[in-house]
Chain A
Amino acid sequence: MPQRMFRSYQGLILLGLCVFFVSKAVNGQLTWYINSRFVPLTIVGIVFLALMAQTIFAENRRSRLHELEHPEHHHDHEHAPSSSALWIMFIPLAIGLLIPARPLDSAAFTTKGFNTSAPLVSSDSSAQIFETESQERNILQWLKLFNYQDDITEFIGQEASVVGFVYFGDELEADQFFVSRFVVSCCAADGFAIAMPVQWEKSKSLEQDAWVVVKGKIESIDLNDTRTPMIVAESVEPADVPAQPYLFP
């Protein structure tokens, strides 16, 4: 492939990646792939991709002008690196465009598994979770409270309101389901699922992976020999996929 043609393809792929990232940033789906802490870094990446595409197109323009002015210097026969670099770089775009975007959900449980307990990050302070209003606590915070507090009596009966997707686990009764979220520290590759059991008489009417808001009172049950918070639901309402579908540890 002639050098200039290779450069044009490079420029197009860079531009394509740039537009792909911008569109994901605009429609808010960037956080379906990475932790929101890293979004600024992606923005830096977008700027770089745009600059690089611009530089490549400018370089081609220069080389064409140079050839017009000095027809005797014919440089374009030079061979560029192998074309495999081009089509492999196209794969992410193909996957991004052909497979409809969907955040991690219970489909990933078969290989990634899910937990009803959560690790404590050293920068966490349980005081912080205590200060959070009970109705503001998310699934991760409830699990941490139950995992790391010796005395949980004060939490029993507190009002809870959590958002997550529905998962029917084998370990539950017929009128129970799990409300679940993925915890992602970097990107979807390191995501792990956490789940909290919910008792609700109309559990059967729910669909797997449907996003819901669960409101009710906290109770403590033993699940797989560990103390786990369970919500006795007063209401379970359908919800939109949150702007950040994942929780951050």
Chain B
Amino acid sequence: METTASKRLPRNTILLILIVILVAVASSLMPAGSSTWLWDRLNVFATVFLGIFVEAVPYLLLGTFASGLVEVFIDRDGMSRWVSKRPAAAAISGAFMGMIFPVCECGVVPLTRRLFKKGLPLSAGISFLLAAPVLNPIVILSTASAFGWGQMLLWRFLISLIIAVVVGLVFSVQDDPGEVLLPILSGMEHDHVHAEAGDTVLEKLRKALLITVDEFFDMGRYLIIGSLLAAGLQTFIAQSTLLSIGSGPVLSVLIMLLLAVLLSICSTVDSFVALGFTGAFSFGSVLSFLVFGPMVDIKSTIMYLQVFKRRAVAYIILIPFMISLIAGLVFNYFVK
């Protein structure tokens, strides 16, 4: 531990210094006001990155705070009493837990991780992870205000529910959580903060906040890496080239799925963005965007990799991808 930590520190420090120098050189080369190409790109990059970051931080804070509260107020026995042991029931109840914990895709990862630590069955946790960013009151309202109380809302929620339950059931086959979760979780790495039986509510809240800080730093860095990537892609890849490829019933669905991953926008508002595509894209393609986007995007994928083993993450991405694709195709070919 000692040696890896001390080896790692200088490398990180060097990287940080390099980045700072790079940015400083870039900004000194280009006086403010002059519109050189690189300076423009850098500005767009900074605005888009900070946009995602400023938007996501409160959600991540609420998610990590919920995780802290779960840690201090819920014990393992309580969890096993509440959640059914039967896989199908667990997967379905997991999918609807989002109605009680209204989190989006940034907040749901730390909360799910904590619930796993408390002994939540795999199937319930995974269907919660996938369904909660859509099946929650805030997202229902925002989808309704963009598309109205109609077909789009109905199918978005039905298909998300189906995907979450299916993936949950797939994982229920696995008896040993250690095969799916990273060792820090299955081994129940000890926290620095422990709730004790005699703690007052105030003391528990203090401990919950300490856990919030640790998780905020732990998950926040992946949120930042994901946002940097998303902002970088948005700065250098033209959306119009993507959209111009995408006509035809199959390609248009694939393009919308790719765009959902690229844009990495919060599920609470993605319907307003999707609305912008309804002119150029069919119902099925936009639906697949709305179903797949909240489950998989750049930042959530990086965050999943901190909870699950790689093979598990592959399943969590591929099964929703296949079902969203099929749903989009079915609507494109048979419904409209």
Contacts and interface: CB of A to CB of B under 8 A. Distances in A.
Contacts of B13: 87
Contact of B265 (A104, A121, A189): A189
A122 B146 contact: yes
Interface stretch (B49-57, B94-102, B108-116, B250-258): B49-57
Nearest to B278: A119
Contacts of A99: 23, 27, 42-43, 46
Given A189-B48, A249-B275, A98 B54 contact: no
Interface in B257-315: 263-266, 268-270, 272-273, 275-276, 278-279
Interface stretch (A28-36, A152-160, A163-171, A228-236): A28-36
A68 interface: no
Contacts of A70: none
A229 B213 CA distance: 52
Contact of B209 (A55, A85, A88, A123): A55
A119 B273 CA distance: 10
Given A51-B209, A107-B43, A112 B273 contact: no
A126 interface: no
Given A45-B57, A85-B217, A122 B145 contact: yes
Contacts of A95: 23, 46, 49-50
B180 to A, nearest CB: 22
B266 A111 contact: no
B225 interface: yes
A92 B53 contact: yes
Interface in A80-100: 80-92, 94-96, 98-100
Interface string B88-129: 000000000000000000000000000000000000000000
Contact of B51 (A81, A189, A209): A189
A177 interface: no
A46 to B, nearest CB: 9
A188 B47 contact: yes
Given A188-B48, A189-B230, A56 B210 contact: yes
Given A3-B192, A121-B145, A10 B275 contact: no
Contacts of A51: 209
A10 B48 contact: no
B321 interface: no
A48 interface: yes
A189 B263 contact: yes
Interface stretch (B158-166, B170-178, B233-241, B323-331): B233-241
A81 B214 contact: yes
Main secondary structure of the interface of A (DSSP, over half): helix
A238 interface: no
Contacts, number: 207
Which range contains the number of A residues in contact with the other chain? Answer: 35 or more
Contacts of B197: none
Contact of A186 (B35, B42, B239, B265): B265
B72 interface: no
Contacts of B144: 122
A191 to B, nearest CB: 8
B65 A108 contact: no
A225 to B, nearest CB: 13
Given A99-B42, A113-B239, A185 B5 contact: no
Interface string A51-81: 1100110010000000000000000001111
Contact of A121 (B23, B44, B58, B272): B272
A85 B221 contact: yes
B20 interface: yes
A96 B49 CA distance: 10
Contacts of A143: none
A186 B220 contact: no
A80 to B, nearest CB: 8
Nearest to A58: B206
Given A44-B58, A189-B230, A87 B237 contact: no
Interface in A104-128: 104, 107-108, 110-113, 117, 119, 121-123
B8 interface: yes
B221 A249 contact: no
A185 B237 contact: no
Contacts of A185: 269, 272-273
5 contacts: A21-B54, A33-B47, A49-B61, A86-B217, A122-B146
- Give the 6 A-B residue pairs with the shortest CB-CB distance, closest first: A188-B51, A185-B272, A107-B40, A187-B51, A186-B269, A45-B58
Given A87-B13, A122-B145, 5 more contacts: A33-B54, A95-B46, A189-B263, A192-B276, A209-B35
